[in-house]
Homo-oligomer: A and B are copies of this chain.
């Protein structure tokens, strides 16, 4: 009975339309409210309106949000004519007055919209959630970028390091916070509370940044292990049943996982502050620690190598590796993989930055590439992205500035002599011109 089917479909469609209709009408109401909120200068009822706006937003569904984002992009940008006039005046006479006027007209009214919404209870959480939804639509709707730019600008100011609180996470931390760590952990999956508990014993540490307006919500957290020497594999660190060591005898602190928790705060990075602050604090507490290193994946390695191998027969064994999906026991194999990785991390650039995203983060922070460890990460994800390779980036606080300078200005990666040597060895293999770098 195709007819019955069609009827049902139509009914369902009508129902969906009705729902979407209601949702969009709600969004339209919200847009109207936001216009009022932002023109209303006296703020007499700003608190009430802001609360209403937050409640309306939180009631929206996908179609409503789509409409809202679109309107935010179209209706809350600065007026180009006014901006041009103000810029002209400022060009003629750059005074406090003309500058003030220019700033007033060129700031998108969206920013005031978001500041006002933020004033309501739960406003900050709502806006962080809003940006997270916005980012999901951004790829397909690039005209929403200016909305994102405004949120990014505000969040950069609001989540300034000076407003963040560094807190140690341990087994006395509320379960609701620990649960979030389990959920968010991006690098090495935490398999429930008992697994997490091992990561909080006295030879491990965990620290997170929190913001006062998002209580109980870690923004970014780092997991540290105290070990005897710079580690070349992650399995011993993650093993639940391992013996608990004495932090007062450890020589090396390993940052083995750094995770951002809030998709809505993407790019508002405080991870760099976190690592350095934690290194500084641990150094003061445990003078026995001589080395602060990461144990990091090389997530762009496989993709880059696949692309490169397509052009170079000499990379055959590595190609085979790619196909086999696991390190092969051929002689010299690990060396070959290490050399290629050293090259990839120190010589491959993309718009003035290291090509690998994790390398970009640590090298940009002023870390030094200490060692390449093949067969370090047996996990599926580790194989798939990094061919099982992990590397150590070293944070020697006294050298961070120099490393950073040389990376940023001269595009030279700070690396240990061993890594340097490996990178040079890779040239022939990769068919690179051995000319001066």
Contacts and interface: CB of A to CB of B under 8 A. Distances in A.
Contacts of A43: 272
A103 B153 contact: yes
A259 B139 CA distance: 49
Given A42-B364, A115-B156, A163-B213, A174 B176 contact: no
Nearest to A44: B404
A244 to B, nearest CB: 16
A58 interface: no
A45 interface: yes
Given A47-B161, A213-B162, A213-B163, A87 B96 contact: no
Given A81-B91, A83-B102, A193 B175 contact: yes
A145 interface: yes
Contacts of A146: 96, 99-100
Interface string A269-283: 000110011000000
Chain A contact surface mostly: helix
28 contacts: A42-B408, A44-B364, A44-B400, A45-B400, A47-B276, A78-B102, A81-B91, A83-B91, A84-B87, A87-B88, A87-B106, A96-B142, A96-B143, A97-B145, A102-B106, A118-B160, A118-B162, A123-B162, A124-B163, A157-B157, A157-B158, A158-B160, A165-B212, A171-B174, A172-B174, A173-B174, A175-B178, A179-B197
A120 interface: yes
Interface residues of A, number: 81
A44 B272 contact: yes
Name the residue among A81, A97, A157 with the largest chain B CB count within 10 angstroms: A157
A41 interface: yes
A119 interface: yes
Interface in A179-228: 179, 192-193, 197, 212-213, 216
A401 interface: yes
Max chain B CB contacts within 10 Å: which of A41, A86, A87, A407? A87
Contacts of A175: 171-175, 178, 193, 197
A408 B149 contact: no
Given A119-B160, A119-B162, A41 B149 contact: no
A13 to B, nearest CB: 30
A100 B145 contact: yes
A378 interface: no
A297 interface: no
Nearest to A111: B157
A44 B365 contact: yes
Contacts of A119: 160-162, 273
Contacts of A412: none
Lowest 8 CB-CB distances: which A-B pairs, in order? A44-B404, A87-B87, A119-B161, A96-B145, A212-B212, A44-B366, A96-B146, A118-B162
A397 to B, nearest CB: 9
A245 interface: no
Contact of A87 (B42, B83, B193): B83
Contact of A408 (B41, B77, B97, B161): B41
Contacts of A123: 162
A108 interface: yes
A90 interface: yes
A38 interface: no
Interface in A368-425: 400-401, 403-404, 407-408
